């Protein structure tokens, strides 16, 4: 197959949702369609039988969360589908954001009984900033749900995105009888199956069909007919172009647990979702089907197998063809390397990858010295700038509690910072230099502490710091910036009218930042500077 047709077959996406909306259940059902039935269970297995996973995931077991993410690949119809799993837990982490830099589309799962929840909103914002097309799955229609029109209204009001319902629910809760497919003008009647283990049987009929009106309680039928009429006036006009630009979200109602409406969504999604996109390097556009191989590291995970101290770098391929044993250069360092141990990770299963194309993700196992965001290519001029900088919302000092183990503490911390588990900051005015770390969610600190202790036998203590807001400081006129003084190790302080509660710090790249404990002081500082 040619490069162009390999690229055209690929769809790479993530599912975003608030915890408990049904992401895991939907993932499992999607895998059924990919013919990966025997593997589908492994997603649930990951949730329920965490004892079997590698040791450092003990933390996940204790807290019932998924810290690490995996990449699932399956073939369905003519497509190769790459589903990148975003860690879904109450606390937020940068890991989740980074996964979203590697996808071309997202499916947003909403619990139709609850509507948009806090994390849905956060993840949506990240996707929107990157212009990622979003497909909405309104889940749990078999439970009492909010009126379907209200849910659309909420998308518009809370997320500010226009929606286009692709299907429409016939009732909800015990009255949930199926969906009306607005594209084909057909009704899919829903029959409950035990536990929703198999593909839900569906009958296809028009809305006027007697069997449809007989299946629904009269009031529900009347309401649905009214809603459908209304809908022609309220929903946004469908436009594939707007969907692909992330301006309209196609909406599907269904029930993941009962496997109802899932195939309809998958089929429409694959038809509408974009193929792997070209990416920009400065002025140059790198096409996915070009001859040049390129990709970027969006996730690094060390010690997945604690006995081997292995590292896995996850590479999203942007262009060209990846082949096992090929050579490529880390364009940040200029180091050329042979990519020998390439793997595809399926939950805990690993399988060697011999060939992969744009849109695919390969895990490179071994110590290649990667940093998050590094580009790997056979063209040294390609450097992707895909990793956004995240503004931490919480800070903590990390104390080494055992001086005899300082080296382990330092080595472990260096490695984990390379993986981006947290962001390091430095307080130049501090009397004792204790590492100050920033994160978007406190869970990142717990992961850091846990891993330092279990993987590096360090003894550490976290001390939470009061700041919640960080602002990067840029001089308005670079000429006014204070000049470095010879012999001075740190950068000179910026000229600022700082208020008493402003703390200045340096980020990992030596840039000045100001830390604040609340919005008021941050706002005051901004008006002064």
**Positions that interact with ligand GDP (CB under 6 A):** 17, 19-25, 88, 139-140, 142-143, 255-258
List of residues 6+ apart from 359 with CB closer than 8 A: 7, 10, 11, 12, 80, 82, 104, 275, 276, 288, 316, 317
**490 belongs to an annotated ligand binding site:** no
21 labelled binding-site residue? yes
CB–CB of 60/85 below 8 Å?
A: no
Nearer to ligand GDP, 256 or 506 (CB): 256
Cβ proximity to ligand GDP: between 249 and 255 the closer is: 255
Q: Locate 391 and state its tokens.
A: 């503004």
89 is in an annotated binding site: yes
Question: Measuring CA to CA, which residue among 182, 191, 265, 178 is closest to residue 220?
Answer: 178
Nearer of residues 127 and 318 to ligand GDP, judged by Cβ: 127
Q: Give kind and range of the element (H or E) at residue 154.
A: helix 148-154
Least Cβ distance, residue 160 to ligand GDP (angstroms) = 23
Q: Is 173 annotated as a binding residue?
A: no
Strand, coil or helix: 484: coil
Is 22 annotated for ligand binding?
A: yes
For residues 44 and 402, which CB has a smaller minimum distance to ligand GDP in the complex?
A: 44
Q: For strand 202-205 and strand 186-190, is the pairing parallel, antiparallel, or unpaired? A: antiparallel
**3-class SS at 506?**
strand
Q: What is the closest distance, in whole angstroms, from the C-beta atom of residue 100 to ligand GDP in the complex? A: 16
Which of 364, 350, 269, 242 is CA-nearest to residue 13?
Answer: 269
Partner residues linked to 364 by β-bridges:
313, 342
141 annotated binding-site participant? yes
Nearer to ligand GDP, 46 or 244 (CB): 46
**Lookup result for tokens 């490529």:** 328
Whether the Cβ atoms of residue 424 and residue 437 lie closer than 8 Å to each other: yes
Nearer to ligand GDP, 16 or 243 (CB): 16
State CA 198 to chain mean position distance: 28
Output the 3-class SS for 24-93: HHHHHHHHHHCCCHHHHHHHHHHHHCHHHCCHHHHHHHHHCCCCCCCEEEEEECCEEEEEECCCCCCCCC
CA distance 473 to 4: 44
Distance CA 150, CA 261 (A): 20
Closest CB 43 distance from ligand GDP, rounded Å: 9
**Smallest separation (angstroms) from ligand GDP to the CB of 390:** 22
Name the minimum Å distance from CB 136 to ligand GDP.
Answer: 14
Q: How far is the CB of 345 from ligand GDP (least distance, A)?
A: 19
Tell whether 427 is in a known binding site: no
Residue 290 annotated as lining a ligand binding site:
no
19 belongs to an annotated ligand binding site: yes
Residue 20 among known ligand-binding residues? yes
In the complex, the smallest distance separating the C-beta of residue 45 from ligand GDP, rounded to whole angstroms, is: 13
Closer residue to ligand GDP, CB minimum distance, 29 or 299: 29
Please state the closest distance from residue 134 (CB atom) to ligand GDP, in A. Answer: 16
Is 249 marked as binding a ligand?
Answer: no
Tokens of 270: 């694959």
- Closer CB to ligand GDP, 88 or 246, in the complex: 88
Annotated binding residues for GTP, as ranges? 17-24, 85-89, 139-142
């Amino acid at each position: 197959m040619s490069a162009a047709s390999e690229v055209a077959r690929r769809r790479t996406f993530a599912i975003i949702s608030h915890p408990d909306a049904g992401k895991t259940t939907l993932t499992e059902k999607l895998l059924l369609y990919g013919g990966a039935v025997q593997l589908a269970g492994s997603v649930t297995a990951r949730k329920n039988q965490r004892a079997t996973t590698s040791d450092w995931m003990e933390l996940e077991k204790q807290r019932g969360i998924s810290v690490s993410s995996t990449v699932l690949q399956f073939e369905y119809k003519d497509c190769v589908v790459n589903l990148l799993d975003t860690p879904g837990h109450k606390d937020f982490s940068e890991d989740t954001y980074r996964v979203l830099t590697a996808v071309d589309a997202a499916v947003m799962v909403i619990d139709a009984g609850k509507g948009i929840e806090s994390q849905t909103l956060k993840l949506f914002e990240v996707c929107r900033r990157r212009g990622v097309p979003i497909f909405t799955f309104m889940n749990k229609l078999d439970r009492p749900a909010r009126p379907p029109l209200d849910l659309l209204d909420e998308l518009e009001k809370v997320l500010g995105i226009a929606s286009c319902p692709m299907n429409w629910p016939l009732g909800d809760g015990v009255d949930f009888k199926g969906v009306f497919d607005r594209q084909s003008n057909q009704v899919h009647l829903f029959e409950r199956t035990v536990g929703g283990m198999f593909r839900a049987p569906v009958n296809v009929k028009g809305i006027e069909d007697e069997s449809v009106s007989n299946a629904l309680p009269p009031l529900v039928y009347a309401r649905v007919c009214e809603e459908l009429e209304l809908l022609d006036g309220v929903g946004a006009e469908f436009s594939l172009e707007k969907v692909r630009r992330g301006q309209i979200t196609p909406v599907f109602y269904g029930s993941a647990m009962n496997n109802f409406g899932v195939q309809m969504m998958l089929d429409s999604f694959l038809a509408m979702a974009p193929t792997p996109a070209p990416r920009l390097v400065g002025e140059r556009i790198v096409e996915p089907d070009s001859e040049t191989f390129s990709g970027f590291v969006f996730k690094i995970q060390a010690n997945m197998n604690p006995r081997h101290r292995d590292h896995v770098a996850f590479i999203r391929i942007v262009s060209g063809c990846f082949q096992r044993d090929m050579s490529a250069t880390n364009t940040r360092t200029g180091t050329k390397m042979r990519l020998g141990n390439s793997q595809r990770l399926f939950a805990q299963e690993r399988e060697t990858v011999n060939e992969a194309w744009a849109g695919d993700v390969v895990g490179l196992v071994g110590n290649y010295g990667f940093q998050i965001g590094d580009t790997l290519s056979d063209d040294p001029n390609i450097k992707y700038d895909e990793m956004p900088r995240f503004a931490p919302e919480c800070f903590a000092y990390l104390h080494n509690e055992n001086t005899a183990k300082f080296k382990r503490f330092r080595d472990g911390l260096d490695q984990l910072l390379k993986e981006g588990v947290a962001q390091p900051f430095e307080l130049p005015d501090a009397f004792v230099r204790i590492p100050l770390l920033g994160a978007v969610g406190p869970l990142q600190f717990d992961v850091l502490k846990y891993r330092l202790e279990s993987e590096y036998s360090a003894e550490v203590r976290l001390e939470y710091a009061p700041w919640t807001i960080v602002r990067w400081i840029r001089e308005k006129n670079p000429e006014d910036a204070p000049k470095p003084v010879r012999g001075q190790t740190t950068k000179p302080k910026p000229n600022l009218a700082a208020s008493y509660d402003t703390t200045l710090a340096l980020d990992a790249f030596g840039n000045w930042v100001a830390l604040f404990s609340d919005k008021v002081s941050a706002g005051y500082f901004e008006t002064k500077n």
